[in-house]
Each structure stands twice: as structure tokens, then as C-alpha cells.
A and B are shown apart, each in its own frame.
Chain A
């Protein structure tokens, strides 16, 4: 590489400048809006400083949304990793090369679908009377009705299952590819010591893959923040507020129910601060 060239400057500086403008302008403006009292219907506004934030902490629906978001994050991340590791190891153990290729192709399909499409596909499937996913239940119980999307206890899990359908299967492919990159010697050694198949994975292969698996979990944690499309199409936050995550609540405060843009923005700013701090800390730890 030549030491003196203008290339790094001409290639990096304009792009970074544009990225900085495109990201910092909305971010800073979000904070500005959160400190005012703008509404969609009115053009006049004034500065109210932190009163939106104080209101949030006494808003029970907001606190519920925080709790739902935390539940969503935990359920989807854990379930995705379990499905991914389980299916990845299974493919590694019982499928030959050609079957593996076939499964890899099939397992990538759901994640490519637009979230809106995935949400529709499963909304139809979960329909209590005509859905294909509830059909086995109707068949076994002789026509009893099971409506997972309109029960507060099951709605979150029903929506989360779609997320896991998309990401768990996709990550299974990645886990398989990771297993394939491992050197065969430690596995052979464990086999010679009469280790059982599951023991080999629990004590040898998966610990060897600890670092990439943690990175994978990190990616999933970021992607799980984007739950809005699924929830918007499948339940609209309902029944009641059982599946109302923070972005869903911010959206309905800002645009559906009251048009309180500033209030919604205050919520978004809190989300932003929480995620940026959490993920920056996690990322530094993953890298270290």
C-alpha cells in the first residue's frame, strides 16, 4: 500500500460527513422536540423542558410498555438462540452435505420476508376458526376455539413465535456454518474418550464457539428492538395493552390517539438513550 495517497480522505470523509448529518440531525432534533409541547393538530408550541419526561414516569401505560418491551426482548432473544443452537447442532449431526444445503436454503426463506408479510401469514394461520395453525387444535378437541392473538396471556408469545420463526431458523444456518469451521481434532478426541454426542457439543464445540455465539446474540438483541411491524399488523398492541411495546405506544401516542408528538418523542429519546448506553457497553465487552 502506498503511504501517501489522497484516497482514504476522498473516500471516507464525504461518506462519514453525510452519515453524521443524516444521523445527528434527527437525533438532536428528537431531543429538541421532546423538550417542547408540539402536537400534530396545532402549529403553536412552547418549551416545557422536562415536563414530558416527568409525565412519562407517572404514566402507567408507559411503565407497562417498558415491561412489555423487556419481556419481548428476553423471550425473542432466548427462544431464537435455543432454536438456532438446537437446529444447528441437529443439522451438523444427522444431515449429510446435500440435505444440509437444502435445509440452509429453506431456513433462510422466512428471514427474507418483509416483517409485514410474515405478520400477515401468521395472522391468518392463527385465526381461531379458519387458521391453519389452529386447525390441529380444532381437530383434536372436536372444534373448540383457540384464539392465541386475542388472549392477554398468549398474545405476546404468539407474536414472538413469528419473530423466532424468522430469526431462529436463519441463525440455525449460521450456527451450522460455525460448527463446520471448527477443527475436527478436539471432536475426535472427545469421541475417543467415549463422550456422548450431546456431551461433545455441550462441553467441546459450543464452548469453542462462545465468542461468535455471543456476537450472534448481540445482533439478535439489536434486531429484536424492531418489533413494531409485527405487532402493528398482528395485534396493534392489544388485547388491551398486552403487547404494547415502547415503539408501539410512542406511535399511538404520537399519531393514532392524541397526536402528542412531543410526548412520543420524549419516549423515543428515553429508548434511544437506554439502547445506545446498553449496546455500547455490551459491544465494548464483546470486543474485549
Chain B
């Protein structure tokens, strides 16, 4: 093997190691007693404990945060699917002179600084009495999910071979049943990727949730960050356990999302 190649492989292996090691280390620390974490030389051998994890799972604030996150993100994604997918299909299949402008408008929503949206929304929700409630969070997140799902679903629908849809029209299907029975099922895999992506995006959202909740509607990221605000008095193992809990749901979508990436680029090739 040429030396350049060998060095390349070592660099690559190191990058792969760096990608996952910090996370694995956190997971390991979640299983440690405090004495095993606060050591000048990192300890690999220790007596594992489940105390941190059971403490996290048993805390009311964490459970409420988990519930809020699931409800807020689940509802927002559902709204995004119901409103975003049909609109994306129409833009992809019935192009008119506004199609480009619509796509740009949807993308431009992503340019808005979150803080510029969150400050006025906080004032608005306070005035209508919905501040610190889940509906306020769901409506706000819908803006994110609808636009992201639309943005990603347009190319997914464009990837469906036109011939299939045209054949269905010849067979006497109406425009709506072509959408339901042909376009949706054929594009389902790419669409699942788009939906999963929007879920990860709102699950990970922090600034808006921080500004729109004070006690009742706190999502899991907010609860986790508050644990750390108690300074180093909180046993580190507990903090690590909360990080692991927070990170698990997005990682469940790893397979779907990497499949989505592959399908996007396979389309490009053909």
C-alpha cells in the first residue's frame, strides 16, 4: 500500500472515531457513579450503576418534558404532512408561473432568524392567553414542519415517473385519486424521509420552545438544559443520562434518513 493511501485511511478512521466516540463516552458516563466521572484520568473500568437513568426517568419534570415534546412535535409533523404534502404535489405536478416563487417563498421562511419570530410570538401568545401552552407551540412549529416538508416533498413527487400517473388518467382516475392511489404510494419512501427530517428538526428545536414556555409547556431540550443550570451540584451522571434520553428519538430515524439521502442522489444520477 502506498503511504499516502495509508495516511488517508488513518485520517478517515480517526474521523469515524471522532464522530461517535464523544456520544459513546456520554452514554458510558450515564452509567457511572460520580466518583468514576470526576477523575483526572478517564476511567474505562468501573462498576456500572443504573441510578442515573432511573432518577431521570422517575422525575416528573423530565416526564412532562417528554410528553410535551412528543405531543408538540407529533402534532406539528401531522399538520405538516396534511398541509404540506398535497401542496408539494400540486407544485410539482401542475407547474404554473408562480411555482418558482412559491418554492422560493417556502425556502425563504428558513432565512427568518428564530429570535425574530419568537419575540413577537411571545407577545402575541401572551395577549391571547395561549402563552406557555402546547397549542401555541404546535401552531408555531407548524410553520417549520409545513415549509420543510413542502420543500423536500416537491423533488420527491417530481421523481415519480410521469408515465405511471398518465396511465392512471387514461384508466379513468380523477386528479385526486391519482394523488392518493398513485403518487403518494410510489413516492412513499422519499416522503417518509422528508417527514422524518421535519420531526428531527422540531424535536431538536430549542430557542422557540425556550421563549414560548415558562413552566407547563417546556419541551425535553429545555428541561435538559435546566438540569445543567443547577451548576456542577447536579451529579454529572444524571446530566449525561438526560442527554442520552434526549438524543435517542432522533437517532431512531438514522436508517430512514440515510436511505432518504441515498434515494435523493440516485435520482440525480439518472
Binding site for B on A (CB under 8 A): 1-2, 5-8, 10-12, 14-16, 18-19, 22-23, 25-27, 29-30, 32-33, 38, 87, 90-91, 93-95, 102-110, 112-117, 120-125, 129-130, 132-133, 135, 138, 143, 165, 169, 172-174, 177-178, 180-181, 197, 222, 225-226, 228-229, 232-233, 246-247, 250-251, 254-255, 261, 264-265, 268-269, 271-272, 275-276, 279-280, 283
Contacts and interface: CB of A to CB of B under 8 A. Distances in A.
B8 A90 contact: yes
Contacts of A109: 19-20, 23, 251, 254
Contacts of B221: 114, 116, 229
B55 interface: no
Interface of B: 4-5, 8-9, 11-12, 15-16, 18-20, 22-23, 25-26, 29, 37-42, 83-84, 86-87, 89-91, 93-94, 96, 102, 104-117, 119-124, 139-140, 142-143, 146-147, 150, 162, 165-166, 169, 174-176, 179, 200, 203-204, 206-207, 210-211, 221, 224-225, 228, 236, 239-240, 243, 246-247, 250-251, 253-254, 257-258, 261-262, 265, 268-269
A114 B83 contact: no
Given A120-B224, A132-B42, A1 B83 contact: no
Contacts of B42: 132, 135
Which 7 A-B pairs rank lowest in CB-CB distance, beginning with the nearest?
A268-B116, A29-B120, A15-B87, A11-B90, A11-B86, A114-B204, A5-B175
A160 to B, nearest CB: 15
Contacts of B107: 283
Question: Which of the listed residues A5, A30, A90 has the most CB atoms from chain B within 10 Å of its own CB?
Answer: A30
Contacts of B15: 87, 103, 107, 169, 172
A11 B87 contact: yes
Nearest to A91: B12
Contacts of A165: 18-19, 22
Contacts of A173: 261
Contacts of B4: 197
A39 to B, nearest CB: 11
B270 to A, nearest CB: 10
Contact of A107 (B16, B113, B123): B16
B52 to A, nearest CB: 14
B23 A113 contact: yes
A181 B261 CA distance: 13
Interface of B is mostly: helix
B225 A233 contact: yes
Given A272-B112, A276-B108, 9 more contacts: A23-B109, A33-B123, A91-B12, A117-B247, A251-B211, A255-B211, A264-B115, A275-B112, A280-B111
Given A108-B257, A130-B39, A271 B22 contact: no
B104 A283 contact: yes
Contacts of B116: 26-27, 30, 265, 268-269, 271-272
A12 B20 contact: no
Contacts, number: 267
A126 B120 CA distance: 36
B19 A110 contact: yes
B119 A254 contact: yes
B90 A12 contact: yes
B247 A169 contact: no
Contacts of A279: 108, 111
Nearest to B93: A1
A116 to B, nearest CB: 4
Nearest to A5: B175
A23 B112 contact: yes
Contact of B207 (A91, A197, A228): A228
Contacts of A233: 225, 228
Nearest to A254: B119
Contacts of B29: 124
